[in-house]
Chain A
């Protein structure tokens, strides 16, 4: 035990474990493991046939961390920044390094603004957002929702009610604002 020098004895010996568990000890030698050592200098390891990669064309001003010297030669092109969320994102990248909490908090704020923008925009299309189908919540009825949640000693049960609140709150809020706005317009029209 911890209060004396010897290590506690194990219930099973190595031979017993080798007999019981397929492959026990095949990677026993720490030096003969694929990620040991973690850093291993070998520039020919990867099959790269360039010293520095050719540059991918930049089709719009690509936002980048100010901790980079220049735009990396290759980058993702999903979802260019747009609207107010795009302005917040560009500002966050332009102004703050990755070491600043403001950088990440602004990006998280932009994510929320992006959702509001995209949801409103979807109502101008033939595919408006549908919180029922998009949350997959109907699987509660086809994949043992209640028994799965109530069974065993799940400790997350206590915060399960927060999820629907988090999902529904913006919709309820938006519906409330829309109702109040309509009521005000209707009131003015009557007067």
Chain B
């Protein structure tokens, strides 16, 4: 089969690989019909995530058709059109039994601090991902769901991480009616978080980024008030000014490990890999939210230490909430919202690129060329 293969920081190619076999009785093999590149894939691509091995296939956002199932699989069968959450999870451990699917203890031998994620380094379990023609899906009775007939692949693939994560991020903010919500980052997760904040009754939604084309999307797609932090000497002071010097009630970090806005932080984290991530957006969230407010962290960070301003968080009495999204818990409600026309996930897709050109897709997404917000990968173009 054809598959994306990591060759080193900033380098990847498409290679012929063996089709994955069934390795466990509850495995399924999925023929991928649509995959996506996630902003967090760029941390792997840039060599930031420890134990990212040459030869690995990335991709934790994918949908497809069941091609083969193991002997104990009951809930899906060959030919089924399925969407697969980015979480690999068993459904039966201490954490899964409490709905913490992203924190499953039975799928990642390499680390206890994170569950299993498809195509996301050995730190997240060593599973090949879905930027390929076929992918192995463990616990096929637990994670995958049938794609509703009325939903197309482009929308479905965005439910496997980006939309679910943005929606989850807004929930972690504990938004109540009339809250002022500031979202750092107008990438896919930030756009969905901003849109979700309205569903939860926000009174004002502000989105911060430095890319004008993404801020335009935040205004049109998420009805948000937008500010380009590149135009301000100090975006925190500006946010205080526009919130009557109170600060926002809720701040959401939808940027994560490669945040810009502070050269020292960015270079030490993203370029020199001396931190788990560049916490610029997180520090801005801490500083711009009001005392007693909530900070929701959806941006992905590596397992190493990062220079986060915990002193300010303590002194302001903030509540910091974060987790990888337990995707499947969000689906029934998100299906309703899509069906009712409140959300149209694929409105943010800017590029559809054949698997054979995935090196270009990563470069375009990474360098923010061509107005790129969300690139989809098509393994088998018609």
Contacts and interface: CB of A to CB of B under 8 A. Distances in A.
A54 B369 contact: no
Given A23-B199, A47-B75, A154-B210, A75 B56 contact: no
B361 interface: yes
Contacts of A143: 360, 364, 369-370, 372
Interface string B170-187: 011011111010000000
Contact of A65 (B110, B198, B337): B110
Interface string A35-74: 1101111110111111111101100001111011001111
Contact of A27 (B200, B230, B326): B200
Contacts, number: 327
B347 interface: no
Contacts of A93: 110
Given A35-B171, A152-B228, A162-B267, A77 B126 contact: yes
A27 B110 contact: no
A174 interface: no
A187 interface: no
Contacts of B55: 78-79, 118
B92 A52 contact: yes
B141 A48 contact: yes
Contacts of B139: 48, 53, 74
A190 interface: no
Interface of A: 1-3, 7-8, 10-12, 14, 17, 20-28, 30, 33-36, 38-43, 45-54, 56-57, 62-65, 67-68, 71-79, 81, 85, 89, 93, 98, 101, 104-105, 107-108, 110-112, 114-115, 117-119, 122, 127, 129-131, 133-140, 142-145, 148-149, 151-156, 158-160, 162-163, 166-167
Interface of B: 7-13, 15, 23-26, 47, 50-57, 72, 74-75, 88-92, 96-101, 105-113, 116, 122-123, 125-128, 138-139, 141-142, 168, 171-172, 174-178, 180, 196, 198-201, 203-204, 210-213, 223, 228-231, 243-247, 260-261, 263, 266-267, 271, 273, 290, 302-305, 323, 326, 329-330, 332-333, 337, 340-343, 357, 359-364, 367-372
